[in-house]
Structure 1
Amino acid sequence: MQKEVIYLRLRQKNKVSPYAKLVIGNIAQLIGDEAFCSKVEKMPIYQITKEDKNLIVIDVMKVIAVIQQGIPELEIQVVGPTQTIIEVQFPKKKLAPIYFVLIWCLLFIGAALAIMNFHEDVSMREVHQQIYKIVTGIDNPKPLLLQVPYSLGLGIGMILFFNHLFKKRFNEEPSPLEVEMFNYQQDLDQYVIVHENEENGQKKP
């Protein structure tokens, strides 16, 4: 007798609340006979407990074992990633306004000092003085005609570079910061998966 086949693809990452009871439908996409898919989706796969950390890795082998135990006549074809990461979202504490102001001031002063030190290293004032003298023929120690537009352009350029003004996005293209954060998250997820597999291998007799 030929077995019924369903195709299973684990989601790369899932966000759940603490103490959630996960079923296969929460962590995987299924394609196949609707009756079998409906049964598989409702099968419990993991219970979040207080001992769990904020990241949990579930391997596809565990999912297949649960399905075969419940429906032995079903054949599973795995497509895509073989692990899924469960991120437990604990309630976040609201940041007090005083801390927000202090952090904002710290970042503002740090960024200002970095820009000032860079300009000092490349002798930006002397460059502006030379450009002003070349264009106008006047030796001006404070060429504000160049320095003011340059300062405004520096701020506008940073806004356009990061593609954000507060919560407003100028276009759908991701900013360099968002791309770097995405790459960092990908590396972090890969590390969690590899580290979890190493720990599971050490626990085996």
Structure 2
Amino acid sequence: MKKELFFALEKTAYAKGPRVPLYSICSVYGATAQPLKNVLIPLKGAATTVTALDVMARIAPLYPDYAITNLGPTECRVFMQHSPGSPLLKVLKVMLLCLVMFFGGAVAIMTFHEDVSMSQVHSDIYAFFTGAEQENVPVVSVPYSIGVAVGFVMLFGLYRRRKSRPTVLDIDIHNYENQLRDYLAAQGNRPDG
């Protein structure tokens, strides 16, 4: 009776070079892992799909007396990590991105308020509650502005909560990453790509 060896591929993995160690893309059970520490899987580009058959082909010569079984996904998408650039350049990019987002968001909000005549709405609210007509009403505009800011903070979860619940943004990012991974895996299995 043959001994058994089980492995489970990860869905995605990241490599720092043109070859990825086997233990970075899958977990192996049922045998000593010592011979597997030196097994490297070659990558064909910036994103490579490694199948369970590729892994079996690498493991089988090391364990000829074992029955090899895959317990996980049938393929793993391996992405080549690029070397990080200059830390100063990274900080400058983040600062530029923050400025663009801040001013872009400010212009979008101001354009929306101009389209719906928000200053007139604030004047109407003030007149409704006080009976006095006034053109600029900071007593209504300031709380409204604070409420918009607090709403953004709460929506995107920019403050720490005691409970570790995902925010709306966290869920959208998770869904996007899953869809991107599935798409890239499908593209990697095409005969032409």
Q: What TM-score do you get using the length of structure 1 for normalisation?
A: 0.80
Moved more, 129-138 or 68-77: 68-77
Segments of 5+ residues of structure 2 without an aligned counterpart are none
Residues in 2 aligned to 1:163 and 1:37: alpha-carbon distance in whole angstroms = 45
Instruction: Give how far 1:112 is off.
Output: 0.7
Taking the TM superposition and a 5 Å limit, the aligned residue runs for 1:125-204 are: 125-164=119-158, 169-170=160-161, 172-199=164-191, 202=192
37, 62, 69: which one aligns with 1:42: 37
CA contact (8 A) 2:36 2:59 kept: no
CA contact (8 A) 1:45 1:63 kept: no
Report what 2:52 is aligned to: 60
Report what 2:26 is aligned to: 28
Matched, 1:117 2:115: no
Report what 1:72 is aligned to: 64
Residue by residue over 1:26-63, the C-alpha shift from the partner in whole angstroms, topping out at 9 and shown as x without a partner, is: 2111222xxx2425633514145xxx533222111111
CA contact (8 A) 1:24 1:40 kept: no
Segments of 5+ residues of structure 1 without an aligned counterpart are none
SS where residue 190 of structure 2 aligns?
helix
Letter of the 1:149 counterpart: P
Residues in 1 aligned to 2:92 and 2:29: alpha-carbon distance in whole angstroms = 52
Q: Call closer, same or farther: CA 1:55–1:4 in 2, change over 3 Å.
A: same
Q: What TM-score do you get using the length of structure 2 for normalisation?
A: 0.84
Pairwise CA RMSD: 2.4
Q: Call closer, same or farther: CA 1:4–1:101 in 2, change over 3 Å.
A: closer
Residue by residue over 1:136-190, the C-alpha shift from the partner in whole angstroms, topping out at 9 and shown as x without a partner, is: 111111111010011112112212211126xxx4453333233222222212211
Residues in 2 aligned to 1:23 and 1:110: alpha-carbon distance in whole angstroms = 44
Residues in 2 aligned to 1:71 and 1:100: alpha-carbon distance in whole angstroms = 49
Q: Call closer, same or farther: CA 1:47–1:98 in 2, change over 3 Å.
A: closer
Letter of the 1:108 counterpart: F
CA contact (8 A) 1:54 1:87 kept: yes
Letter of the 1:59 counterpart: T
Report what 2:74 is aligned to: 82
Q: Call closer, same or farther: CA 1:27–1:98 in 2, change over 3 Å.
A: closer
Moved more, 178-187 or 91-100: 91-100
